[in-house]
A and B are shown apart, each in its own frame.
Chain A
Amino acid sequence: GIQVEQSPPDLILQEGANSTLRCNFSDSVNNLQWFHQNPWGQLINLFYIPSGTKQNGRLSATTVATERYSLLYISSSQTTDSGVYFCAAGRDDKIIFGKGTRLHILP
């Protein structure tokens, strides 16, 4: 089955810094999502992005399907951005989650 790898596993940044999170996948996909899991466990949809580039405020994402990777950019980080960011990728309805990137934003 498809393998989804995220890097880095942990990231500690000062408030105001920018960050790039990476998601590599081992096979072609037509379904790719980025999520933020808050401290209470809720998964927040950030982007549905099987290909192309999208932006939403301080967040943007790019998926290069032919090269099998996706990037999530967070600019001007805030303490509320802390948490775990998951990438999930796959074919049709079946998505595989990566292990996540744990982001700590220091005040």
Chain B
Amino acid sequence: DAKTTQPTSMDCAEGRAANLPCNHSTISGNEYVYWYRQIHSQGPQYIIHGLKNNETNEMASLIITEDRKSSTLILPHATLRDTAVYYCIVRWETGFQKLVFGTGTRLLVSP
């Protein structure tokens, strides 16, 4: 599995966009980028994933660079409830593989 690198922590003002970066320079051609978040005292929750193209859903947008060596998760209008640890993971789409989490980015959204 490709390793990922994320900043330890970030701050964001409520209502502003939160942009969380992730480096995955050793990603292979068939590996997807997945994002999860973990709100305090809860299990991690899936947010979004993508391969090459940018993706958007009701929770967030995912921007993947053309060389696929990095990506950015965007929360367009952060709220206090978005305060959480955000994990970036790369993995194959087909076949079995274990999920390997790093230490993630702790996002603090302030009023």
- Asked if A and B bind, the verdict is no
